[in-house]
Amino acid sequence: MLLAALIPFAAAAEPLTLERLFESPDLSGASLRGLQFSPDAQLVVYQRGKASNAGQFDLWAYDIARRRHRLLVDSAALVAEERISAEEAARRERQRTAAFSGIVEYEFSEDGKRLLVPLSGDLWAYDLRRPAASAVRRLTATEGAEADARYSPRGNYVSYLRDGALWVRNLGNDQERRVTPPAAGVVSYAVAEFIAQEEMNRDTGYWWSPDERYIAYTVVDESPVDEVRRFEIQADRTDVITQRYPAAGRANALVELRVVPLDGGEPVRVDLGAETDIYLARVDWFPDSRQLAVQRQSRDQRKLDLLAADPVSGSTRTLISETSDTWVNLHNDLVFLERSRRFIWASDRSGFRHLYLYENDGTLVRPLTSGEWMVVATGRGRGVAGVDEQRGQVYFTANRDSPIERHLYRVPLSGGAVARITTGAGWHRIAMSENARYFVDTRSTAETPPSITLRDATGRQIAVMVENRLDADHPYTRYRDLHSPTEFGTLTAEDGQTLHWKLVRPKVLEPGRRYPVIVDVYGGPESQEVGNAWGNSPRANDAAFHQFLAQRGYVVFSLDNRGTGFRGRAFESALHRRMGSVEVADQVRGVEYLRTLPYVDPARIGVFGWSYGGYMALMCILQAPDHFAAAVSGAPVTDWRLYDTHYTERYMGTPQDNAPGYAAGDVLSWADRLKGKLLVIHGMADDNVLFTHSTALFAKLQSLGKPFDLMTYPGGKHGLTREPVSGLHALRTVVRFFDEALAGPPLQAASSTAP
């Protein structure tokens, strides 16, 4: 029996449906994805979904001088039917773009006159100087699929990977040549290995020198990595995938860095030290092309070295060493200055991520920011939005004013007070021009969808690019009458740290009634669920889904427990070597708060999460069976020994040196405590959290005689909830389960069930 919606509404009010969450146009209204300024700051180029299919992107531009939008490249005009190679499909799954099609990436030439567009395994160039009808030129038409393509720094070449090798095409004579040896068995060249793509936010394996004389590239030897077979179960077949998978405590791939002169000559091996069991985290070039900046991370991730490498000899010297008793987080905030031999570097050494100015020889000049707040990336994966050397200003994004908001700030390179640039409460995503004269501000709050404005460096508005008002034409307007505002608040963890929460409840609470609760949780490191933004979560459609649940009669609650990100080292490292402990304690604290609310039924509280959230849902219902009556666990990790090295060991160490921590963090260790109702959902072709995690749980619960519900998806990957077909079915399954599991006894008057 389904739980009835408990709120009366006017005949004109239209309730949300699950189907509408996956239909076009998007409920959030118009949006511009992948914003980039042209190098000359004359255009803002972006991806925009088609009106008929929001997930198929075309390439558009906003002309700053003319104040108008125009279509640059229609993806359907280039390729009638898109084909994606297995390698590209896997790469998109790593980048969480597998649900999209059309132009999912693009790149400017350094002079800003051309755009490079990869599509369907081939490459196209768009010349901004030519009329639209003749602007597009196809660069490749091969059987193999070109990937990781880009212009060389001066625009004379296009480089790309094909058939396991790095190729360079001379745009002057249209000739291509192979730069590296071809892949041979377990050895590959110029690629980002699995761990780099999945966990290190490094999706490339080669780097041009600014003067185009050299290319640095990786050599990846996977022979030490355990070879495992996993089964991708499709609807009509089972694919057996043989994969080199580095599980926690086991061997990683061996990664070398080499530099080859473009005009010929033997490659030079960069000296990364005597210890080979390390991570090649980042590679950049100094602006003068005389040195590479190489970030080397120790296997235990407690040390990160910034090295200067000579491209001719391969010799290295250490510029900076960051150390920690827990772990050192990676970042993309190494920014070289052009007018002086200095660079900006981000560090958590104070307990919070801040910016520091260094000489190119590694001498610290001065800290640029400080305080109990963090510089946080919101655009291009960097916290540093831009640098104006002429005016001596650094622009960056941070949570200085509130942990649940993001704003743009500036600070003088010479040191001094930090000034806030953006106005208006909420979440500001920033894309800044290379000359730091303009920025695009995408601002939203929990109650207002994203608006996009073009501004100068002082914050003065120049133009409204997307107003996105909730007017009569907005896709969400027809559902607005039943919209429930998001409430925010804080609690105190047992160690005194502040926990932020958000809550959505039925818009009209019937007097004397108590309502069921769904705790929507993620809870893992480097995440944040609670933000004053229009949908602030890694799951697609989550804000609209929360509204759907509230209209159905549920209270929806989310809390960022200790161990989640962007709150400083003490907050994040509280789970060090003990995953599945403090996170659960904080979620229990949230439930104890919910029990004090007169409209909450304390006997009908469920928990729902995906990935790390799936792990959390299991640990909550198993460790706190008296607090959670039901749980939905999507694609959960159940045994950290089965997950990969870089992620797991960062927080847990290895199974060999932290056996008690792994045992306590193992879901199966708690399985005998299951009392409530449980639904497990998993894609049967998940190559991130392998289906094995769930099958181990199934066997354990069956051996204990514990009943549970199950929904599996043949061919389903880790992001199956983002796909229209599987996502809709999965959410329907979640709702049906909670309707039945939390229906409970008839609703009672609040006074008779007060906790």
The yes-or-no verdict on residue 133 having pLDDT over 90 is: no
Q: For residue 337, tell me if it sits in a domain.
A: no
Q: Are residues 127 and 262 in the same domain?
A: no
Note if 686 is an active site residue.
Answer: yes
The pLDDT score that the predictor gives to residue 84 is 62
Cross-strand bridge partners of residue 159: 150, 168
- As a whole number of angstroms, the distance between CA 319 and CA 363 comes to 8
Q: How far apart are CA 307 and CA 293, in angstroms?
A: 6
Q: How confident is the model at residue 132 (pLDDT cuts 50, 70, 90)?
A: confident
- Residue of 586, 718, 726, 729 marked catalytic: 718
pLDDT, position 93: 60
Chosen domain end from 123, 143, 177: 177
Q: Which pLDDT score is estimated for 56?
A: 86
Q: Which of 275-289, 375-389, 557-571 has the lowest mean pLDDT?
A: 375-389
What confidence tier does 77 reach under pLDDT thresholds 50, 70, 90?
confident
pLDDT-based confidence at residue 2 (cuts at 50, 70, 90): very low
Mean local confidence (pLDDT), 624-653: 98
Q: Is 718 a catalytic residue?
A: yes
Give yes or no: residues 606 and 586 share one domain: yes
For the cut 50, the answer to whether the pLDDT of residue 588 exceeds it is yes
Does the annotation mark 451 as catalytic?
no
Same domain (yes/no): 720, 670: yes
Q: Are residues 217 and 85 in the same domain?
A: no
pLDDT at 438: 97
**pLDDT tens for each residue of 385-404:** 999 999 999 999 999 999 99
Q: What is the mean pLDDT of the chain?
A: 92
- Other Cβ atoms within 10 Å of 129 Cβ, number: 7
What's the structural domain count of the chain?
3
Looking at the fold, whether 187 and 94 belong to one and the same domain comes out as no
Tokens for 480? 């607005």
Residue 27: CB atoms within 10 A of its CB come to 23
d(CA 592, CA 569): 26
Digit-coded pLDDT (tens) for 536-551: 543 445 899 999 999 9
Q: What pLDDT, on a 0 to 100 scale, did the predictor assign at position 5?
A: 40
**Element (DSSP H or E) covering residue 681:** strand 677-683
Catalytic residue among 611, 633, 694, 726: 611
User: What is the token pair recorded at 213?
Assistant: 């004389």
Confidence of residue 500 (pLDDT cuts 50, 70, 90): very high
DSSP string, 368-423: ---SSS-B---BTTBSEEEEETTTTEEEEEE-SS-TT-BEEEEEETT----EE---
Single out the residue of 96, 197, 34 nearest to residue 539, CA to CA: 96
Say if 619 falls within a structural domain.
Answer: yes
Please tell me the distance from the alpha carbon of residue 693 to that of residue 667, in angstroms, as a whole number: 10
Strand stretches in 223-376, DSSP E: 227-233, 238-244, 254-261, 268-269, 278-285, 292-298, 303-309, 316-323, 334-336, 342-347, 354-359, 364-367
Is position 365 within any domain? no
Confidence of residue 53 (pLDDT cuts 50, 70, 90): confident
**Tens digit of each residue's pLDDT (9 = 90 or more) over 163-199:** 889 999 999 999 999 999 999 999 999 999 999 999 9
pLDDT for the residue numbered 98: 60
Residues 96 and 197 in one domain: no
* Nearest-angstrom CA–CA distance, 49 and 188: 35
Confidence of residue 91 (pLDDT cuts 50, 70, 90): low
Q: What is the pLDDT of residue 165?
A: 93
Q: What pLDDT is stored for residue 495 in this prediction?
A: 97
**Domain of residue 202, CATH code:** 2.140.10.30
Tell me, what's the pLDDT at 52? Answer: 75
- Locate 319 and state its tokens: 């510029």
- Dump pLDDT digits (tens) for 469-495: 999 999 999 999 999 999 999 999 999
- This prediction has a pTM of 0.93
Residue 81: the pLDDT is 61
Query: Is 60 exceeded by the pLDDT of residue 57?
Result: yes
The mean pLDDT value for 511-520 works out to 96
Cα 386 versus chain centre, distance? 21
- Rounded CA-CA distance 124/558 in Å is 44
Mean pLDDT of 18-25: 91
Task: Please spell the DSSP secondary structure of 427-495, one letter per residue.
Answer: EEEEEE-TTSSEEEEEEE-SSS--EEEEEETT--EEEEEE----STTSTTGGGGGGPPPPEEEEEE-TT
Q: Which of 426, 422, 357 is nearest to 393 (CA)?
A: 357
Whether pLDDT at 87 is above 60 = yes
Summarised one tens digit per residue, pLDDT across range 267-319 is 999 999 999 999 999 999 999 999 999 999 999 999 999 999 999 999 999 99
Q: Considering 686, 693, 726, 729, which one is annotated as catalytic?
A: 686
Task: Tell me the CATH number at 97.
Answer: 2.120.10.30
Least Cα distance to 148 among 225, 206, 228 occurs for: 206
8 A C-beta contact, residue 695 and residue 642? no
Closest by Cα among 569, 565, 482 to 531: 565
Mean pLDDT of 459-468: 96
Same domain, yes or no, for 587 and 638?
A: yes
Q: State whether 621 and 589 are in the same domain.
A: yes
Answer with the one of 285, 301, 330 that is the final residue of a domain.
Answer: 330
3-state helix, strand, coil in the chain (%, to 5): 20, 35, 50
Residue 346 lies in a domain: no
With contact defined as beta carbons under 8 Å apart, do 528 and 564 qualify? yes
Contact (Cβ atoms closer than 8 angstroms) between residue 420 and residue 406: no
Domain membership flag for residue 131: yes
Residue after which a domain boundary falls, among 330, 346, 365 = 330
Angstrom distance (rounded) from CA 721 to CA 726: 6
Burial of 561 (C-beta count, 10 Å sphere; 0-12/13-18/19+): buried
Percentage of the residues of the chain whose pLDDT score is greater than 70:
93
At residue 567, what is the residue type? R
As a whole number of angstroms, the distance between CA 715 and CA 235 comes to: 7
Whether 17 has a pLDDT exceeding 90, the answer reads yes
% of the chain with per-residue pLDDT over 90: 82
**Token pair for residue 721?**
């909830």
Q: Which residues of 44-55 are buried (b: 16+ CB within 10 A; e: fewer)?
A: bbbbbbbeeebb
Same domain, 531 and 619: yes
User: Quick one: pLDDT at residue 99?
Assistant: 60
Backbone phi, then psi, for 120, in 5-degree steps?
A: 55, 40
Q: Is the pLDDT of residue 357 over 80?
A: yes
Residue-level pLDDT at 391: 97
> Residue 512's domain is classified under what CATH number?
3.40.50.1820
H or E element at residue 52: none
Q: How far is CA 174 from CA 119, 124, 151, 156, 259, in A?
A: 19, 13, 14, 10, 24
- Cα 654 to Cα 217: distance, rounded to the nearest angstrom: 29
Query: On the CB side of 663, how many CA atoms lie within 13 Å of its CA?
Result: 5
Q: Is the backbone of residue 626 left (phi > 0), alpha (psi -120 to 50) or beta?
A: alpha
Q: Is 53 part of any domain?
A: yes
pLDDT band at residue 143 under the 50/70/90 scheme: confident
Q: Which domain holds residue 164?
A: 30-177
**Nearest Cα residue to 719 out of 692, 752, 685, 749:** 685
Answer yes or no: do 227 and 154 share one domain.
Answer: no
Q: Note the pLDDT of residue 483.
A: 96
Q: Greater confidence, 702 or 105?
A: 702
The pLDDT, as a whole number, for residue 80 is 55
pLDDT of residue 97: 60
314 and 196 part of one domain: yes
> CA 560, CA 503: separation in Å to the nearest integer?
12
Tell me the C-alpha distance between 79 and 119, whole Å: 8
Based on the fold, state whether residues 183 and 169 are members of the same structural domain.
no
Exposed, middle or buried, 410 (CB in 10 Å: 0-12/13-18/19+)? buried
498 found inside a domain? no
> Taking 60 as the threshold, does the pLDDT of residue 8 lie above it?
no
